[in-house]
Amino acid sequence: MESTTNRNSNARPNFGLRSKVALAGCILAVVVVVLGAFTRLVDAGLGCPDWPGCYGHLTWPDEAHEIQSANKAFPDAPVDGSKTWPEMVHRYFAGILLLVVATLTYLSWRSPNKRTLKQTNLLMALIVLQAIFGMWTVTLKLWPQVVTAHLLGGMATLSMLWLLIERMRKTPIYIPVDKYRALQRLRPLAFLAVLVIVLQIALGGWTSSNYAALACPDFPTCHGEWWPQADFQEGFNITQQIGPNYLGGALESDARTAIHLSHRIGALLVTLVVFTLAILNWRVGLHRWALILSGLLLFQLGLGIANVIMFLPLPIAVAHNAGAALLLLVTLTFYYRIQIVQPSGIEDSEAQTNLVLPRSALTGEL
Protein backbone atom coordinates (compact mmCIF):
# COMPACT_ATOMS: atom_id res chain seq x y z
CA MET A 1 0.00 0.00 0.00
CA GLU A 2 2.79 2.36 1.00
CA SER A 3 4.81 1.68 -2.12
CA THR A 4 1.74 2.44 -4.26
CA THR A 5 1.35 5.79 -2.54
CA ASN A 6 5.03 6.56 -3.08
CA ARG A 7 4.87 5.54 -6.70
CA ASN A 8 1.82 7.73 -7.23
CA SER A 9 3.30 10.74 -5.50
CA ASN A 10 6.54 10.33 -7.50
CA ALA A 11 4.54 10.18 -10.68
CA ARG A 12 2.77 13.40 -9.79
CA PRO A 13 4.68 16.44 -10.96
CA ASN A 14 5.07 18.93 -8.13
CA PHE A 15 4.27 22.31 -9.63
CA GLY A 16 3.44 23.97 -6.30
CA LEU A 17 6.19 26.62 -6.19
CA ARG A 18 6.39 27.03 -9.95
CA SER A 19 2.61 27.55 -10.18
CA LYS A 20 2.84 30.26 -7.55
CA VAL A 21 5.73 32.00 -9.31
CA ALA A 22 3.88 31.73 -12.64
CA LEU A 23 0.76 33.21 -11.05
CA ALA A 24 2.78 36.08 -9.57
CA GLY A 25 4.31 36.63 -13.03
CA CYS A 26 0.88 36.63 -14.64
CA ILE A 27 -0.50 39.25 -12.23
CA LEU A 28 2.63 41.33 -12.74
CA ALA A 29 2.29 41.00 -16.53
CA VAL A 30 -1.25 42.47 -16.31
CA VAL A 31 0.18 45.40 -14.32
CA VAL A 32 3.01 45.91 -16.84
CA VAL A 33 0.64 45.80 -19.86
CA VAL A 34 -1.73 48.31 -18.25
CA LEU A 35 1.15 50.56 -17.13
CA GLY A 36 2.47 50.41 -20.70
CA ALA A 37 -0.91 51.60 -22.01
CA PHE A 38 -1.00 54.36 -19.40
CA THR A 39 2.52 55.52 -20.34
CA ARG A 40 1.59 55.55 -24.03
CA LEU A 41 -1.68 57.39 -23.41
CA VAL A 42 -0.20 60.17 -21.28
CA ASP A 43 2.41 60.63 -24.04
CA ALA A 44 5.19 59.68 -21.63
CA GLY A 45 6.88 57.19 -23.97
CA LEU A 46 9.75 59.64 -24.37
CA GLY A 47 9.53 60.92 -20.79
CA CYS A 48 13.09 59.66 -20.35
CA PRO A 49 15.22 60.19 -23.48
CA ASP A 50 17.87 57.65 -22.41
CA TRP A 51 17.73 53.95 -21.46
CA PRO A 52 17.85 52.15 -19.04
CA GLY A 53 18.25 55.16 -16.68
CA CYS A 54 16.27 58.38 -16.82
CA TYR A 55 18.51 61.39 -17.61
CA GLY A 56 21.23 59.18 -16.12
CA HIS A 57 19.28 58.64 -12.86
CA LEU A 58 18.22 55.36 -11.30
CA THR A 59 14.75 56.84 -10.72
CA TRP A 60 14.14 60.27 -12.28
CA PRO A 61 15.42 63.81 -11.67
CA ASP A 62 13.13 65.78 -9.33
CA GLU A 63 15.38 68.15 -7.36
CA ALA A 64 15.90 71.59 -8.97
CA HIS A 65 19.65 71.06 -9.41
CA GLU A 66 19.09 67.56 -10.91
CA ILE A 67 16.58 68.96 -13.41
CA GLN A 68 18.96 71.76 -14.30
CA SER A 69 21.86 69.44 -15.08
CA ALA A 70 19.53 66.99 -16.90
CA ASN A 71 18.31 69.83 -19.13
CA LYS A 72 21.90 70.76 -19.85
CA ALA A 73 22.80 67.17 -20.78
CA PHE A 74 19.67 66.71 -22.98
CA PRO A 75 18.90 70.17 -24.42
CA ASP A 76 16.51 68.68 -27.05
CA ALA A 77 14.43 66.87 -24.40
CA PRO A 78 13.90 69.04 -21.34
CA VAL A 79 12.59 67.30 -18.19
CA ASP A 80 8.79 67.11 -17.91
CA GLY A 81 8.03 65.99 -14.34
CA SER A 82 4.62 64.56 -15.33
CA LYS A 83 6.23 62.20 -17.89
CA THR A 84 9.38 60.90 -16.25
CA TRP A 85 7.72 58.87 -13.48
CA PRO A 86 5.18 56.87 -15.61
CA GLU A 87 8.01 55.76 -17.91
CA MET A 88 10.29 54.72 -15.01
CA VAL A 89 7.52 53.01 -13.00
CA HIS A 90 6.71 50.99 -16.16
CA ARG A 91 10.40 50.10 -16.61
CA TYR A 92 10.78 48.98 -12.98
CA PHE A 93 7.70 46.78 -13.04
CA ALA A 94 8.90 45.28 -16.34
CA GLY A 95 12.29 44.66 -14.69
CA ILE A 96 10.65 42.82 -11.78
CA LEU A 97 8.66 40.75 -14.29
CA LEU A 98 11.90 39.82 -16.02
CA LEU A 99 13.33 38.61 -12.69
CA VAL A 100 10.18 36.58 -11.97
CA VAL A 101 10.36 34.91 -15.40
CA ALA A 102 14.09 34.23 -14.87
CA THR A 103 13.23 32.56 -11.52
CA LEU A 104 10.56 30.48 -13.24
CA THR A 105 13.04 29.38 -15.89
CA TYR A 106 15.61 28.50 -13.23
CA LEU A 107 13.04 26.43 -11.31
CA SER A 108 12.04 24.62 -14.51
CA TRP A 109 15.68 23.79 -15.30
CA ARG A 110 16.22 22.43 -11.80
CA SER A 111 13.02 20.42 -11.67
CA PRO A 112 13.16 16.73 -12.67
CA ASN A 113 9.84 17.29 -14.43
CA LYS A 114 10.62 18.86 -17.81
CA ARG A 115 7.04 19.14 -19.08
CA THR A 116 7.01 22.94 -19.04
CA LEU A 117 10.72 23.57 -19.71
CA LYS A 118 10.19 24.43 -23.39
CA GLN A 119 7.52 26.99 -22.53
CA THR A 120 9.56 28.68 -19.82
CA ASN A 121 12.62 28.88 -22.12
CA LEU A 122 10.45 30.48 -24.78
CA LEU A 123 8.98 32.86 -22.23
CA MET A 124 12.47 33.89 -21.11
CA ALA A 125 13.47 34.58 -24.72
CA LEU A 126 10.28 36.61 -25.23
CA ILE A 127 10.81 38.76 -22.15
CA VAL A 128 14.41 39.54 -23.17
CA LEU A 129 13.09 40.50 -26.63
CA GLN A 130 10.50 42.70 -24.91
CA ALA A 131 13.26 44.49 -22.99
CA ILE A 132 15.02 45.16 -26.32
CA PHE A 133 11.78 46.45 -27.87
CA GLY A 134 11.27 48.63 -24.79
CA MET A 135 14.72 50.13 -25.39
CA TRP A 136 14.02 50.64 -29.12
CA THR A 137 10.71 52.32 -28.26
CA VAL A 138 12.81 55.05 -26.66
CA THR A 139 15.88 55.10 -28.94
CA LEU A 140 13.80 54.98 -32.17
CA LYS A 141 11.57 57.70 -30.73
CA LEU A 142 8.21 55.88 -30.70
CA TRP A 143 8.51 54.44 -34.22
CA PRO A 144 4.96 52.96 -34.60
CA GLN A 145 6.28 49.59 -35.86
CA VAL A 146 8.26 49.12 -32.64
CA VAL A 147 5.50 50.45 -30.35
CA THR A 148 2.96 48.05 -31.90
CA ALA A 149 5.37 45.10 -31.70
CA HIS A 150 6.07 45.99 -28.06
CA LEU A 151 2.32 46.00 -27.30
CA LEU A 152 1.88 42.62 -29.03
CA GLY A 153 4.91 41.25 -27.15
CA GLY A 154 3.33 42.33 -23.85
CA MET A 155 0.08 40.54 -24.73
CA ALA A 156 2.08 37.45 -25.81
CA THR A 157 4.04 37.42 -22.51
CA LEU A 158 0.82 37.64 -20.51
CA SER A 159 -0.85 34.91 -22.61
CA MET A 160 2.14 32.57 -22.30
CA LEU A 161 2.28 32.97 -18.52
CA TRP A 162 -1.44 32.27 -18.30
CA LEU A 163 -1.24 29.21 -20.55
CA LEU A 164 1.70 27.96 -18.49
CA ILE A 165 -0.46 28.01 -15.37
CA GLU A 166 -3.20 26.17 -17.27
CA ARG A 167 -0.67 23.62 -18.48
CA MET A 168 0.85 23.09 -15.03
CA ARG A 169 -2.61 22.20 -13.77
CA LYS A 170 -3.17 19.88 -16.68
CA THR A 171 -5.81 17.36 -15.77
CA PRO A 172 -8.14 15.98 -18.40
CA ILE A 173 -11.66 17.36 -18.30
CA TYR A 174 -14.08 14.50 -18.84
CA ILE A 175 -17.23 15.26 -20.77
CA PRO A 176 -19.91 13.06 -22.36
CA VAL A 177 -19.04 11.74 -25.82
CA ASP A 178 -21.73 13.70 -27.71
CA LYS A 179 -20.59 16.98 -26.12
CA TYR A 180 -16.98 16.03 -26.81
CA ARG A 181 -17.76 15.60 -30.51
CA ALA A 182 -19.64 18.91 -30.63
CA LEU A 183 -16.69 20.67 -29.00
CA GLN A 184 -14.17 19.19 -31.40
CA ARG A 185 -16.16 20.76 -34.21
CA LEU A 186 -15.72 24.15 -32.49
CA ARG A 187 -11.90 23.95 -32.58
CA PRO A 188 -11.36 25.77 -35.92
CA LEU A 189 -13.75 28.56 -34.93
CA ALA A 190 -12.09 28.97 -31.51
CA PHE A 191 -8.71 29.18 -33.26
CA LEU A 192 -10.09 31.77 -35.69
CA ALA A 193 -11.42 33.78 -32.73
CA VAL A 194 -7.95 33.90 -31.14
CA LEU A 195 -6.46 34.88 -34.50
CA VAL A 196 -8.86 37.76 -35.22
CA ILE A 197 -8.49 39.10 -31.66
CA VAL A 198 -4.68 39.16 -32.03
CA LEU A 199 -5.07 40.92 -35.38
CA GLN A 200 -7.46 43.44 -33.82
CA ILE A 201 -5.01 44.10 -30.97
CA ALA A 202 -2.30 44.77 -33.56
CA LEU A 203 -4.66 47.18 -35.37
CA GLY A 204 -5.44 48.85 -32.02
CA GLY A 205 -1.73 49.28 -31.32
CA TRP A 206 -1.27 50.72 -34.82
CA THR A 207 -4.18 53.12 -34.20
CA SER A 208 -2.73 54.25 -30.90
CA SER A 209 0.92 54.54 -32.00
CA ASN A 210 -0.03 56.55 -35.10
CA TYR A 211 -2.27 58.82 -33.02
CA ALA A 212 -5.32 57.92 -35.12
CA ALA A 213 -7.71 57.52 -32.16
CA LEU A 214 -9.64 60.68 -33.06
CA ALA A 215 -9.17 60.50 -36.83
CA CYS A 216 -12.89 59.66 -36.93
CA PRO A 217 -14.45 61.86 -34.25
CA ASP A 218 -18.01 60.52 -34.72
CA PHE A 219 -19.64 57.08 -34.49
CA PRO A 220 -20.89 54.99 -36.30
CA THR A 221 -20.07 57.29 -39.23
CA CYS A 222 -16.69 58.93 -39.78
CA HIS A 223 -16.73 62.66 -40.59
CA GLY A 224 -20.47 62.17 -41.21
CA GLU A 225 -19.85 59.55 -43.93
CA TRP A 226 -19.99 55.74 -44.00
CA TRP A 227 -16.95 55.55 -46.25
CA PRO A 228 -14.89 58.77 -45.89
CA GLN A 229 -11.82 59.68 -47.89
CA ALA A 230 -8.95 57.51 -46.62
CA ASP A 231 -5.39 56.66 -47.70
CA PHE A 232 -4.83 52.97 -46.88
CA GLN A 233 -1.52 52.78 -48.74
CA GLU A 234 0.05 55.48 -46.59
CA GLY A 235 -1.72 54.36 -43.40
CA PHE A 236 -0.25 50.87 -43.69
CA ASN A 237 3.11 51.73 -45.21
CA ILE A 238 5.12 49.72 -42.70
CA THR A 239 8.38 50.44 -44.53
CA GLN A 240 8.15 54.13 -43.63
CA GLN A 241 11.47 55.72 -42.66
CA ILE A 242 12.56 55.95 -39.05
CA GLY A 243 11.91 59.61 -38.48
CA PRO A 244 13.20 62.03 -35.90
CA ASN A 245 10.28 61.73 -33.44
CA TYR A 246 6.84 60.10 -33.70
CA LEU A 247 5.29 61.63 -30.57
CA GLY A 248 1.92 63.01 -31.71
CA GLY A 249 2.10 61.06 -35.01
CA ALA A 250 3.62 61.83 -38.37
CA LEU A 251 0.91 60.74 -40.84
CA GLU A 252 -1.47 62.87 -42.89
CA SER A 253 -5.14 62.98 -41.90
CA ASP A 254 -6.36 60.60 -44.68
CA ALA A 255 -3.80 57.98 -43.65
CA ARG A 256 -4.94 58.18 -40.01
CA THR A 257 -8.58 57.87 -41.13
CA ALA A 258 -7.66 54.65 -42.98
CA ILE A 259 -6.06 53.21 -39.82
CA HIS A 260 -9.02 54.15 -37.63
CA LEU A 261 -11.51 52.71 -40.16
CA SER A 262 -9.54 49.45 -40.34
CA HIS A 263 -9.74 49.09 -36.54
CA ARG A 264 -13.53 49.52 -36.76
CA ILE A 265 -13.79 46.94 -39.55
CA GLY A 266 -11.60 44.64 -37.44
CA ALA A 267 -14.05 45.09 -34.56
CA LEU A 268 -16.90 43.97 -36.86
CA LEU A 269 -14.96 40.84 -37.77
CA VAL A 270 -14.16 40.07 -34.11
CA THR A 271 -17.85 40.57 -33.26
CA LEU A 272 -18.94 38.18 -35.99
CA VAL A 273 -16.52 35.41 -35.01
CA VAL A 274 -16.69 35.69 -31.19
CA PHE A 275 -20.47 36.06 -31.17
CA THR A 276 -20.88 33.00 -33.39
CA LEU A 277 -18.59 31.10 -31.02
CA ALA A 278 -20.69 32.24 -28.05
CA ILE A 279 -23.95 31.14 -29.74
CA LEU A 280 -22.52 27.73 -30.60
CA ASN A 281 -21.27 27.37 -27.02
CA TRP A 282 -24.79 28.06 -25.81
CA ARG A 283 -26.15 25.43 -28.16
CA VAL A 284 -23.81 22.73 -26.85
CA GLY A 285 -24.79 23.60 -23.27
CA LEU A 286 -21.74 25.67 -22.27
CA HIS A 287 -23.91 28.54 -21.07
CA ARG A 288 -21.32 30.08 -18.76
CA TRP A 289 -18.74 30.30 -21.54
CA ALA A 290 -21.33 31.73 -23.94
CA LEU A 291 -22.22 34.47 -21.46
CA ILE A 292 -18.60 35.30 -20.56
CA LEU A 293 -17.50 35.52 -24.20
CA SER A 294 -20.42 37.66 -25.34
CA GLY A 295 -20.35 39.81 -22.18
CA LEU A 296 -16.64 40.58 -22.57
CA LEU A 297 -17.06 41.30 -26.26
CA LEU A 298 -19.90 43.77 -25.64
CA PHE A 299 -17.93 45.44 -22.83
CA GLN A 300 -14.89 45.85 -25.10
CA LEU A 301 -16.99 47.23 -27.97
CA GLY A 302 -18.64 49.66 -25.54
CA LEU A 303 -15.26 50.91 -24.30
CA GLY A 304 -14.01 51.35 -27.89
CA ILE A 305 -17.09 53.37 -28.87
CA ALA A 306 -16.87 55.43 -25.65
CA ASN A 307 -13.24 56.21 -26.57
CA VAL A 308 -14.45 57.84 -29.77
CA ILE A 309 -17.55 59.69 -28.65
CA MET A 310 -16.00 60.91 -25.39
CA PHE A 311 -12.73 61.97 -27.08
CA LEU A 312 -10.41 59.42 -25.48
CA PRO A 313 -10.76 59.84 -21.70
CA LEU A 314 -7.67 58.31 -20.05
CA PRO A 315 -9.44 55.76 -17.76
CA ILE A 316 -11.55 54.44 -20.66
CA ALA A 317 -8.58 54.23 -23.02
CA VAL A 318 -6.58 52.27 -20.40
CA ALA A 319 -9.60 50.03 -19.69
CA HIS A 320 -9.94 49.37 -23.46
CA ASN A 321 -6.39 48.01 -23.44
CA ALA A 322 -7.06 45.84 -20.35
CA GLY A 323 -10.34 44.67 -21.92
CA ALA A 324 -8.46 43.50 -25.01
CA ALA A 325 -6.06 41.51 -22.81
CA LEU A 326 -8.96 39.91 -20.94
CA LEU A 327 -10.85 38.99 -24.12
CA LEU A 328 -7.68 37.40 -25.49
CA LEU A 329 -6.99 35.42 -22.30
CA VAL A 330 -10.54 34.12 -22.01
CA THR A 331 -10.69 33.05 -25.69
CA LEU A 332 -7.27 31.41 -25.39
CA THR A 333 -8.37 29.55 -22.25
CA PHE A 334 -11.44 28.25 -24.06
CA TYR A 335 -9.31 27.17 -27.03
CA TYR A 336 -6.82 25.46 -24.70
CA ARG A 337 -9.46 23.63 -22.71
CA ILE A 338 -11.17 22.18 -25.76
CA GLN A 339 -7.77 20.74 -26.69
CA ILE A 340 -7.49 18.84 -23.40
CA VAL A 341 -11.06 17.56 -22.97
CA GLN A 342 -11.48 13.81 -22.97
CA PRO A 343 -14.59 11.87 -23.90
CA SER A 344 -16.68 10.07 -21.29
CA GLY A 345 -15.64 9.49 -17.62
CA ILE A 346 -18.25 10.75 -15.21
CA GLU A 347 -16.14 12.42 -12.56
CA ASP A 348 -16.87 16.05 -12.03
CA SER A 349 -20.33 17.24 -12.93
CA GLU A 350 -19.33 20.92 -12.95
CA ALA A 351 -16.45 20.20 -15.32
CA GLN A 352 -18.85 18.37 -17.59
CA THR A 353 -21.35 21.14 -17.87
CA ASN A 354 -19.07 24.17 -17.82
CA LEU A 355 -15.74 23.03 -19.26
CA VAL A 356 -13.96 24.20 -16.12
CA LEU A 357 -10.93 22.40 -14.76
CA PRO A 358 -11.82 19.70 -12.23
CA ARG A 359 -11.58 20.85 -8.61
CA SER A 360 -8.49 18.71 -8.03
CA ALA A 361 -6.70 20.70 -10.74
CA LEU A 362 -7.74 24.01 -9.28
CA THR A 363 -6.19 23.15 -5.95
CA GLY A 364 -2.92 22.39 -7.71
CA GLU A 365 -3.10 18.60 -7.21
CA LEU A 366 -2.57 16.68 -10.36
Q: Which residues are catalytic?
A: 87
Report if residue 320 touches ligand HEM, rule: CB under 6 A. Answer: yes
Residues sharing a CB contact under 8 Å with residue 138, sequence separation 6 or more, in sequence order: 45, 46, 48, 49, 50, 51
Q: How far is the CB of 157 from ligand HEM (least distance, A)?
A: 14
Alpha carbon distance 73, 60 (integer Å): 14
Amino acid at 267: A
Alpha carbon distance 60, 70 (integer Å): 10
Pick the binder of ligand HEM from 29, 35, 79, 327 (CB under 6 A): 327
Residues 107-166 interacting with ligand HEM (rule: CB under 6 A): 151
Of 244, 333, 249, the residue nearest 296 (C-alpha): 333
Report if residue 300 touches ligand HEM, rule: CB under 6 A. Answer: yes
CB nearer to ligand HEM: pick between 177 and 238 = 238
Which range in 58-66, 94-102, 111-119, 196-204 contacts ligand HEM by CB under 6 A? 196-204
Q: How far is the CB of 51 from ligand HEM (least distance, A)?
A: 20
Total residues contacting ligand HEM by CB under 6 A comes to 29
Measured from the Cβ of residue 78, the count of other Cβ atoms closer than 10 Å reads 12
Contact 290, 275 (CB under 8 A): no
Of 225, 204, 226, 223, the residue nearest 213 (C-alpha): 204
Report if residue 40 touches ligand HEM, rule: CB under 6 A. Answer: yes
Q: What's the distance, CA 266 to chain centroid?
A: 17
Site string for ligand HEM, 98-117 (x = CB under 6 A): --------------------
Report if residue 219 touches ligand HEM, rule: CB under 6 A. Answer: yes
Q: For the chain, what is the radius of gyration of the CA atoms? A: 23
- Which residues are near ligand HEM by CB under 6 A? 37, 40-41, 151, 197, 200-201, 204-205, 207-208, 213, 219, 263-264, 267, 270, 297, 300-301, 304-305, 307-308, 317, 320-321, 324, 327
